[in-house]
Structure 1
Amino acid sequence: MKKVSLCSFFCFLCGTVFLAISVPVSALDSEGQEAKDEGMRLYNIHHSTAALAYLEQAAEGGDVEAMYYMGEAERRQRMGSMTRAALNWYLKAADHGDPYAMLRLFQGGACVAGDECPEGAEGWREKALAETLPKAETGDTDAMLALYHIYRLLDDSGEGVEWLEKAAEAGNPEAQTRLAKNIINGQGWYFFDSSRQNAALEWLQAAAKQNYVPAIVELSEIFVEQGDFDNAWEWGRLGSELGYVNLRNRVGWCYLNPEELEEMSVEGLCPVEQDKVKGWAILRAVVEEVGDRDAKGILEDNQGVLTSDQMREAERLSDELVGRQPELSDFIPRFGY
């Protein structure tokens, strides 16, 4: 396995995970909800093609979030390019008030190139603003968060930041995480770098206390950069338990072969006692559950590390781990950059 940086191997995908704003939808029956859940599971481990059939069932049942993700899955299959299929699903979601679908329609040039313009608004950004602002003014924190993106695409980042801060202060974990990342990247005025980092850490910890995985991932990486490996491990272990694939791999690798991992990333990253059986079981379960290539590569590089008795015990333990809730995910951003 080639040498990789800690950031490239473990860092969270750019952006944050966003929740759907509440809009009137048709309640799914149990079969439709199961289809949606499976579609989202597949989508969040980058199996967009396989997710389509399940998401479509939920979308046809009236679920607006599934409509939006049908658009996302279709678009991701074309490396982010707008397709007619994606356009049609975004239009359906937008018709039910989904602001992120409207922003995708703006970004994809639906009004200019596709002649699909909203009624009663200058464009899709403007329609998103008109429909989302009243919800935010009544205290809907998801709407506040959406306004951050809407204003950003309207080239009014100052107004957007104000709404982002309001959402964070109201306890929205996505907004808290986005705000923390913005502070790290230079937002706001801080006399000392340490003050800037402390401010970001406070927001991340507020989100992490709500078990918001993207915040937990950020915290773990910050503590790695600071050389605080005990805190990095504790947050990383929690992120692993909550289902983040890369952190699950890190935990498994630390148990299986800590020297190998530290040689390829950061010395001191694994402040735990080696447990080859446990490490192999964790990584094998990841492979069995989602077919992760990184986990598979680690196991291939460590063939022969376990005795035959240890291997049997690892496989038994692995079988117990497969499918254990919460399910594994890459926590793909709802509205990335």
Structure 2
Amino acid sequence: MLKMKNAVCIALSTLFFSFVAQAEVSTQQVKAKEKGIELYNQFKAISAVPYLKAAAEGGDREAQYYLGEALRKNNKYITPEAQSAYEASARQGDIYAMIRLSQRNNDLCVEMNNCSGEKKSPNEWSKSALEAATKEAEKGDAEAMYLMYRITGDDKWFEKSADGGFALAQYYLAADYREGKGFFLTPSKRAEMVERWMKASAEGGNPQGMLAYAAIQGRKKDWEQFRSWNEKAAMTGYVSAVYGYGSYLAGQSPEYGFKEDLVTAYASISWVLELDGGGGMREFAQDELPEIAAKMTGEQIEKSKKTLTEWKATRPPLSFFPDKL
């Protein structure tokens, strides 16, 4: 009996520690995925690869897709490793990965004559993407409706996605109207529609929509709304907004009514210095930061550094918010 009890205890202990180990691995993979996507969104695709690989090996389909993207961007074409990552993601139902695999006819590797062997043709992946997106769109998924537009080019899906509340589609639809797409009886009607969709996108959390809606309010001389939406966009970590908000607080464009706050301005511009992967914003920050520092005391600069440390622990990471496709 004692031996049996000991055997049961050992078995339970083994099972318990197995669960703990699995939980730790899962947690590590989640953190790796988050860090990988963070770096990717900062245009640091090379640095993102090791983190995304760690998460992708655990079977996370989104990490697999982003791994494919990072490898593709690093090499300028879909390498065999990138294709494998896309395929692993697509087999788990990721529509973005299916779409990317369907686009291989235009891949640079075709010109270079070094494409990997096909397991499924681009046309077959296109059909799979259409089937998967249609299924989700029929359930009312607004993001899937946007993907239907990307797959088919049919504007009705673009509009349905915007109507369904997908903030990115709302932003792009407003931008298209702003650039002349669609028919409107008068310029004022066009402007009303642009403002309607930019507002919807901003309220839906899209930082690009926030800045665009802020600009609309600025043209209307509604500086309170202009300032409010610029600040909200900066709080998302959107690089352009963080830099712009810092510049306004440093005294740039005083006609907009921002109250000078050199501590916050210095923290904002300092944060942008971390973006050494691309995007060009780091160079702007390098030029502007000394000008702000010249107006500050040593105590203010130290306070600003502490502020930035707090932000990094509590706010979303910096991001260029690139289109997932």
| Alpha carbons 2:39, 2:47 under 8 Å: kept | yes
Tell me if 1:95 matches 2:81.
no
**Alpha-carbon distance, 1:61 to partner:** 1.2
Shift of 1:63: 1.2
Q: Relative to structure 1, is the Cα distance of residues 221 and 88 closer, same or farther in structure 2, using a 3 angstrom cutoff?
A: farther
RMSD: 2.7
Q: Which residue of 2 aligns with 1:170?
A: 164
Matches within 5 A, 1:185-200: 185-200=179-194
Unpaired runs of 5+ residues, structure 2, are 1-22
Asked whether the equivalents of residues 285 and 321 of structure 1 are also in contact (C-alpha less than 8 Å), the reply is no
- Any residues of structure 2 matched to 1:13-28 within 5 Å, and which? none
Query: Which residue of 1 is the match for residue 286 of structure 2?
Result: 296
What are the residue-to-residue correspondences of 1:261-272 with 2, within 5 Å?
A: 262=253, 268=255, 270-272=256-258
TM-score scaled by structure 1? 0.77
* C-alpha deviation, 1:308, in angstroms: 3.1
Which of 115, 118, 135 is the aligned partner of 1:116?
Answer: 118
- Displacement after TM superposition at 1:87 (Å): 2.1
Q: Assess if the C-alpha contact under 8 Å between 1:55 and 1:67 holds in 2.
A: yes
Quick one: structure 1 residues 125 and 280, their matched pair in 2 at CA, closer, same or farther if it must change by over 3 Å? same
Q: Within the alignment, does 1:284 sit opposite 2:270 as a pair? A: yes
- Structure 1 partner of 2:260: 274
Partner residue of 1:50 out of 47, 51, 58: 47
Task: State whether residues 71 and 85 of structure 1, in contact with CA within 8 Å, keep that contact through their aligned partners in structure 2.
Answer: yes
Q: How far 1:117 moved relative to its partner?
A: 5.5
Post-superposition Cα deviations, 1:95-153, rounded to whole Å, max 9, x if no partner, equal 2232222222232328994452537x84432332133212212322222111000002x
Whether 2:301 is the aligned partner of 1:311: answer yes
2:102, 2:123 within 8 Å by CA — same for their partners in 1? no
Contact 1:141–1:170, Cα closer than 8 Å, also in 2: yes
State the match for 1:183 in structure 2.
177
- Judged with a 3 Å threshold, the aligned counterparts in structure 2 of structure 1 residues 100 and 219 are, in CA distance, closer, same or farther, namely same
Partner of 2:11: none
| Rounded Cα–Cα distance in structure 2 between residues aligned with 1:225 and 1:91 | 47
Query: Are 1:234 and 2:228 an aligned pair?
Result: yes
1:232: how far off?
Answer: 2.5
1:326 is paired with a residue whose SS is coil
The aligned counterpart of 1:328 is 318
Q: Counterpart of 1:11? A: none
| 2-structure distance, mates of 1:198, 1:218 | 14
CA deviation after TM superposition for structure 1 residue 331, in Å: 0.8
Q: Distance in 1 between matches of 2:65 and 2:30?
A: 15
1:235-264: per-residue Cα shift (whole Å, max 9, x none)?
A: 111000121111111111111231xxx4xx
Structure with larger Rg: 2
Give the C-alpha shift of residue 179 in structure 1: 2.0
Structure 1, unaligned runs of 5 or more: 1-26, 153-159
CA distance change for structure 1 residues 56 and 306 in 2, over 3 Å: closer, same or farther?
same
Write the distance in 2 (CA, Å) between the matches of 1:169 and 1:320: 38
Is the aligned partner of 1:85 residue 2:84?
no
Out of 69, 72, 90, the position equivalent to 2:69 is 72
Kept in 2, the 8 Å contact 1:286–1:322? The answer is no
Deviation at 1:299, TM superposition (A): 0.6
Q: Distance in 1 between matches of 2:315 and 2:236?
A: 8
Separation in 1 of the partners of 2:194 and 2:36? 34
Asked if the contact 1:118/1:127 (under 8 Å) is kept, the reply is: no
CA distance in 2: counterparts of 1:319 and 1:98, whole angstroms = 36
One-letter amino acid of the structure 1 residue matched with residue 56 of structure 2? A
Give SS of 2:105's match.
Answer: coil
CA contact (8 A) 2:293 2:301 kept: no
8 Å CA contact retained: 1:213, 1:239: yes
Aligned partner letter, 2:158: L
- Percent of pairs identical after alignment? 30
Contact kept, 8 Å, 2:99 with 2:151, in 1: the verdict is yes
Change (3 A) 1:188 1:37: same
Alpha carbons of 1:134 and 1:322: their partners in 2 closer, same or farther (altered >3 Å)?
closer
